[in-house]
Amino acid sequence: MIKTKGVTHLNLTVGDVRKSIEFYEKALGMTVQSWAGDKVAFLNTPGSSDILTLEQVASGQSVGSGGGITHFGFVLDDKHELDEARRQVEAAGGTFVRKGEHAPGEPFAFFTDCDGYLFELFAMS
């Protein structure tokens, strides 16, 4: 078996890279770390080693829901902040889908971003 150090990044195709950056900055506090040309941006959650790559594709190419990714998730620092996180995501242009609990005391909520990608915010005990 190959041993890895985990997922290094997630690459999403998007319709408008600047609009997607604005969404992830406002909704989740991510920041742009670098660019590859003017249509590919690398974002990061401050204090973490995650990388979210946003790649703008030509009009008519597939973005958003589907494409083999069912969803991706972010762990909240404080499980009591899920309602505030929901307000921030919606204020940034995201759409609330549903909420629940994975286990008692482990709440989650699903949202879609501006391109229709489904993502989850959740808390672990």
Q: Which of 97, 94, 85, 96 is CA-nearest to residue 114?
A: 94
Domain limits for position 102: 10-122
Domain at 28, CATH number: 3.10.180.10
What is the mean pLDDT, run by run of 10 residues, along the chain of 125 residues? Answer: 71 92 96 94 93 88 70 86 92 96 88 92 78
Q: Is residue 4 part of a domain?
A: no
Tokens of 45: 């959650």
Q: What is the pLDDT of residue 104?
A: 87
Is residue 38 within 8 A of residue 16, CB to CB? The reply is no
Q: What is the pLDDT of residue 4?
A: 62
Q: What is the pTM of this model?
A: 0.79
Q: Is residue 81 part of a domain?
A: yes
Cα–Cα distance list, 122 to 80, 88, 99 (Å): 10, 15, 9
Q: Is residue 2 part of a domain?
A: no
Q: Is residue 89 part of a domain?
A: yes
Q: What is the pLDDT of residue 1?
A: 67
Neighbours of 9 (CB within 10 A): 13
CA angle at 51 for the pair 112 and 41, rounded to the nearest 5° = 80
Q: Is residue 55 part of a domain?
A: yes
Q: Is residue 47 part of a domain?
A: yes
Q: What is the pLDDT of residue 56?
A: 92
Q: What is the pLDDT of residue 68?
A: 60
User: What is the C-alpha separation between 111 and 62, in angstroms, rounded?
Assistant: 19
Domain count, the chain: 1
Q: Is residue 80 part of a domain?
A: yes
Pairing of strands 106-112, 118-122: antiparallel
Q: Is residue 5 part of a domain?
A: no
